[in-house]
Protein backbone atom coordinates (compact mmCIF):
# COMPACT_ATOMS: atom_id res chain seq x y z
CA UNK A 1 0.00 0.00 0.00
CA UNK A 2 1.39 3.50 -0.85
CA UNK A 3 2.56 5.72 1.99
CA UNK A 4 -0.04 8.14 3.32
CA UNK A 5 -0.25 11.27 1.15
CA UNK A 6 1.17 9.55 -1.93
CA UNK A 7 -0.58 7.97 -4.85
CA UNK A 8 1.55 6.22 -7.45
CA UNK A 9 4.60 8.27 -6.47
CA UNK A 10 2.84 11.66 -6.80
CA UNK A 11 2.90 13.71 -3.60
CA UNK A 12 -0.56 14.98 -2.76
CA UNK A 13 -0.95 18.41 -1.18
CA UNK A 14 -4.41 19.92 -1.29
CA UNK A 15 -5.31 19.30 -4.92
CA UNK A 16 -3.80 16.38 -6.83
CA UNK A 17 -1.21 17.12 -9.47
CA UNK A 18 -1.14 15.40 -12.84
CA UNK A 19 1.60 15.06 -15.41
CA UNK A 20 0.46 15.02 -19.04
CA UNK A 21 1.85 15.59 -22.51
CA UNK A 22 0.75 18.73 -24.32
CA UNK A 23 1.42 20.77 -27.44
CA UNK A 24 1.74 24.52 -26.88
CA UNK A 25 -0.44 26.22 -29.49
CA UNK A 26 -0.34 29.84 -28.27
CA UNK A 27 1.74 31.97 -25.91
CA UNK A 28 -0.33 34.95 -24.80
CA UNK A 29 2.23 36.50 -22.49
CA UNK A 30 5.15 35.41 -20.32
CA UNK A 31 3.01 33.41 -17.90
CA UNK A 32 -0.10 32.39 -19.87
CA UNK A 33 -0.25 29.79 -22.64
CA UNK A 34 -2.78 27.68 -24.53
CA UNK A 35 -2.18 24.02 -25.26
CA UNK A 36 -3.75 20.87 -26.60
CA UNK A 37 -3.49 18.54 -23.62
CA UNK A 38 -3.36 14.74 -23.91
CA UNK A 39 -4.97 13.46 -20.71
CA UNK A 40 -4.67 9.79 -21.60
CA UNK A 41 -7.05 7.06 -22.73
CA UNK A 42 -7.25 8.73 -26.16
CA UNK A 43 -8.74 11.91 -24.70
CA UNK A 44 -7.39 15.35 -25.55
CA UNK A 45 -8.44 18.75 -24.27
CA UNK A 46 -8.08 21.31 -27.06
CA UNK A 47 -7.29 24.99 -26.47
CA UNK A 48 -6.69 24.57 -22.72
CA UNK A 49 -5.53 27.79 -21.04
CA UNK A 50 -2.71 27.45 -18.54
CA UNK A 51 -1.25 29.94 -16.07
CA UNK A 52 2.37 29.14 -15.21
CA UNK A 53 2.39 28.37 -11.50
CA UNK A 54 4.66 30.26 -9.12
CA UNK A 55 5.79 33.00 -11.49
CA UNK A 56 4.69 36.46 -12.59
CA UNK A 57 5.78 38.37 -15.68
CA UNK A 58 5.04 41.98 -16.70
CA UNK A 59 1.57 42.54 -18.21
CA UNK A 60 1.12 43.35 -21.89
CA UNK A 61 -2.13 45.25 -21.38
CA UNK A 62 -2.41 48.58 -19.65
CA UNK A 63 1.30 49.19 -19.36
CA UNK A 64 3.67 51.43 -21.21
CA UNK A 65 7.33 52.13 -21.67
CA UNK A 66 9.84 49.83 -20.01
CA UNK A 67 7.20 47.54 -18.46
CA UNK A 68 5.61 46.83 -21.84
CA UNK A 69 9.05 46.26 -23.38
CA UNK A 70 9.86 43.67 -20.68
CA UNK A 71 6.43 42.07 -21.15
CA UNK A 72 7.05 41.55 -24.87
CA UNK A 73 10.57 40.25 -24.15
CA UNK A 74 9.17 37.66 -21.67
CA UNK A 75 6.45 36.58 -24.09
CA UNK A 76 8.82 36.32 -27.04
CA UNK A 77 11.38 34.36 -25.01
CA UNK A 78 8.71 31.90 -23.84
CA UNK A 79 7.50 31.53 -27.44
CA UNK A 80 11.04 30.68 -28.57
CA UNK A 81 11.23 27.95 -25.90
CA UNK A 82 7.91 26.14 -26.24
CA UNK A 83 5.55 27.41 -28.97
CA UNK A 84 4.63 24.55 -31.29
CA UNK A 85 6.54 22.07 -29.17
CA UNK A 86 5.56 19.00 -27.22
CA UNK A 87 6.02 19.53 -23.48
CA UNK A 88 5.23 17.84 -20.19
CA UNK A 89 2.67 19.70 -18.11
CA UNK A 90 2.12 19.23 -14.39
CA UNK A 91 -1.25 20.70 -13.40
CA UNK A 92 -1.91 21.99 -9.89
CA UNK A 93 -5.65 22.67 -9.96
CA UNK A 94 -7.39 25.84 -11.11
CA UNK A 95 -6.47 29.40 -10.19
CA UNK A 96 -8.75 32.27 -9.24
CA UNK A 97 -9.54 33.13 -12.90
CA UNK A 98 -10.42 29.55 -13.90
CA UNK A 99 -7.19 28.77 -15.72
CA UNK A 100 -5.27 25.61 -14.87
CA UNK A 101 -2.13 26.34 -12.86
CA UNK A 102 0.77 24.45 -14.40
CA UNK A 103 4.46 23.75 -14.35
CA UNK A 104 5.80 23.16 -17.85
CA UNK A 105 8.82 20.99 -18.63
CA UNK A 106 10.65 21.00 -21.95
CA UNK A 107 13.81 19.02 -22.65
CA UNK A 108 14.16 18.19 -18.93
CA UNK A 109 13.98 21.88 -17.95
CA UNK A 110 11.42 23.40 -15.61
CA UNK A 111 10.32 26.27 -17.86
CA UNK A 112 8.74 28.23 -14.98
CA UNK A 113 12.02 28.27 -13.02
CA UNK A 114 14.01 28.88 -16.20
CA UNK A 115 12.07 32.11 -16.84
CA UNK A 116 13.00 33.31 -13.33
CA UNK A 117 16.68 32.44 -13.81
CA UNK A 118 16.77 34.31 -17.14
CA UNK A 119 15.22 37.42 -15.56
CA UNK A 120 11.90 37.28 -17.44
CA UNK A 121 9.78 36.39 -14.39
CA UNK A 122 9.60 36.81 -10.64
CA UNK A 123 8.52 34.26 -8.07
CA UNK A 124 4.81 34.57 -7.31
CA UNK A 125 2.86 32.74 -4.66
**What's the confidence (pLDDT) of residue 51?**
98
- DSSP code string of 2-30: PPTTEETTEEPBSBPPEEEEEEEEEEEET
pLDDT-derived band at 15, boundaries 50, 70, 90: low
Residue 25 lies in a domain: yes
Residue 85 lies in a domain: yes
Q: Which CATH number fits the domain that encloses residue 103? A: 2.40.50.90
* φ, ψ of residue 119 in degrees (nearest 5): 85, 10
Residue 122 lies in a domain: no
Residue 124 lies in a domain: no
Residue 13 is classified by DSSP as: B
Residue 20 lies in a domain: yes
Predicted structure pTM score: 0.84
∠ CA 71-22-89 to the nearest 5 degrees? 70
Q: Which residue has the higher pLDDT, 116 or 4?
A: 116
Residues 85-106 have a mean pLDDT of 95
Q: Where are the alpha helices (DSSP H) in 11-110?
A: 65-82
- Rounded Cα distance between 78 and 123, Å, is 16
Residues 32-55 have a mean pLDDT of 95
Residue 48 lies in a domain: yes
Please give the residue range of the domain that contains residue 62.
6-117
Q: How many domains does the chain have?
A: 1
Whether 1 shows a pLDDT value over 70: the answer reads: no
**What's the confidence (pLDDT) of residue 12?**
40
Q: What is the CA radius of gyration of the chain?
A: 15
Residue 1 lies in a domain: no
Residue 99 Cα distances to 28, 67, 73, 115, angstroms = 13, 24, 23, 20
Q: Cα dihedral sign for 25, 40, 95, 58?
A: negative
Residue 54 lies in a domain: yes
pLDDT-derived band at 18, boundaries 50, 70, 90: confident
Amino acid sequence: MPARGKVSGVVMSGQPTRLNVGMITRVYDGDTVTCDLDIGFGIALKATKLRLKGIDTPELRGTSGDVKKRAYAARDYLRSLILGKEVLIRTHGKGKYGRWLATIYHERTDVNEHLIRKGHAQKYM
